[in-house]
Chains A and B, each alone.
Chain A
Amino acid sequence: LAKTTQPISMDSYEGQEVNITCSHNNIATNDYITWYQQFPSQGPRFIIQGYKTKVTNEVASLFIPADRKSSTLSLPRVSLSDTAVYYCLGGNSGNTPLVFGKGTRLSVIA
């Protein structure tokens, strides 16, 4: 199972772009990289998933370099409601469990 390392916390002002980088040096060849968002007292919510290069959806972009040893979640123009903990995980689509790291606590300030 891929071990991930992320910054413990980040602060940002509203309207700014936020980039959270995750290190996953031992990611397996068939692992995807998935990012989740968690608000207090709620279950994690899927944000985005990718294998390599760049993936974009309506809420975020995910950049994965060719060596796949890291990934960067990009949140454009954050708002106060984006204050949450963000987790990156490596895993495949099989029935192996996802193991959570410590995550990054993002605080968005007005």
Chain B
Amino acid sequence: GAVVSQHPSRVICKSGTSVKIECRSLDFQATTMFWYRQFPKQSLMLMATSNEGSKATYEQGVEKDKFLINHASLTLSTLTVTSAHPEDSSFYICSASGREGFRYFGPGTRLTVT
């Protein structure tokens, strides 16, 4: 079946630095990918919709200048957390739609900001 990968699986960074998370669709092309954030014991919260070749659409309350999304190809979307702070520590998950319309989710990236 279709697979979505994320890299890195976990990252620790210092406050004030930037971190880039990659999301790849391994065996299918995805014109649209989605980024979610999940805090402990909570549900997934949609952050933004990433469209190949165009600007991402951000959900209300998500700072587009802080969470930079780039979808430069049909198999890769990146989320960059700029000037990270401890409150940005979370589990970040991407999702992509396969040809048959099913949504596949990546394994997630655990970000810890110290």
Q: Which residues of A contact B (CB under 8 A)?
A: 34, 36, 41-46, 49, 87, 91-95, 97-103
Contacts and interface: CB of A to CB of B under 8 A. Distances in A.
A87 B89 CA distance: 23
Contacts of A34: 103
- Of A92, A94, A98, A103, chain B has the most CB atoms within 10 Å of the CB of A98
B97 interface: yes
B44 interface: yes
Given A34-B103, A93-B97, A41 B110 contact: yes
Interface residues of B, number: 26
Contacts of B108: 41-43
Given A49-B102, A97-B49, 8 more contacts: A36-B105, A42-B108, A43-B106, A46-B102, A94-B97, A97-B46, A100-B43, A101-B43
Contact of A44 (B6, B31, B44): B44
Nearest to B2: A46
A42 B106 CA distance: 8
Interface in B45-59: 45-46, 49, 51
29 contacts: A36-B105, A41-B91, A41-B108, A41-B110, A42-B108, A43-B4, A43-B95, A43-B106, A44-B44, A44-B93, A44-B105, A45-B105, A49-B102, A87-B43, A91-B103, A93-B97, A93-B102, A94-B101, A95-B49, A95-B51, A97-B34, A97-B46, A97-B95, A98-B34, A99-B46, A100-B36, A100-B43, A101-B43, A103-B43
Q: Is the interface of A mostly helix, strand, loop or mixed?
A: loop
B95 to A, nearest CB: 7
B46 A93 contact: no
